[in-house]
Amino acid sequence: MPEIVDLTAWTGLLLGLAALFAGIGALRKPGMWRTMLEEIEGSPALQFLCGMMELVIGAFVYMANPWVPADTLACVMKALGGLMMIEALVILGFCDIYTQFWLRNLSHMHRGWALSTTLFGIALLVLGAARFN
């Protein structure tokens, strides 16, 4: 019998690791996210690349997770995948407006966003890892 891969566990684990280390990086180097956003805002090629990458990753996360109300992590991951796809489309169509929104928020609450990203990453990491037997 073929071994079944738990895509919900893997997507939770991998997105959790990505968020955890992105948060750690932002805490280690304050202003890093702001610099990245300024670079994206100034480059149409980076805008397109970021939007397409997030669209592909969000679509994978969305399609890999079933909507089963009894499985909270699968529902959370499906919702995250949907939100990622929406954000990707916003980046592709309205990057100038969207980056200004984040640049204003990051200037006042950089440490708060970095800490919340780190905590969110830890939560996803733990929930994803807990599904492995």
Helix (H) or strand (E) segment spanning residue 125 = helix 72-130
Is it the case that residue 5 has pLDDT exceeding 80? yes
Tell me whether residue 109 is in a domain. Answer: yes
Tell me whether residue 88 is in a domain. Answer: yes
Tell me whether residue 64 is in a domain. Answer: yes
The residue segments making up the domain with residue 74 are 7-130
Tell me whether residue 32 is in a domain. Answer: yes
Condensed to tens digits (0 to 9), the pLDDT of residues 66-97 reads 999 999 999 999 999 999 999 999 999 999 89
Domain count along the chain: 1
Tell me whether residue 11 is in a domain. Answer: yes
Q: What pLDDT was estimated at residue 51?
A: 96
Whether the model clears a pTM of 0.85, i.e. scores above it, the answer is: yes
Q: How many CB atoms lie within 10 A of CB 53?
A: 12
Give the 3-state secondary structure percentages of the chain, helix then strand then coil, rounded to 5: 85, 0, 15
Tell me whether residue 1 is in a domain. Answer: no
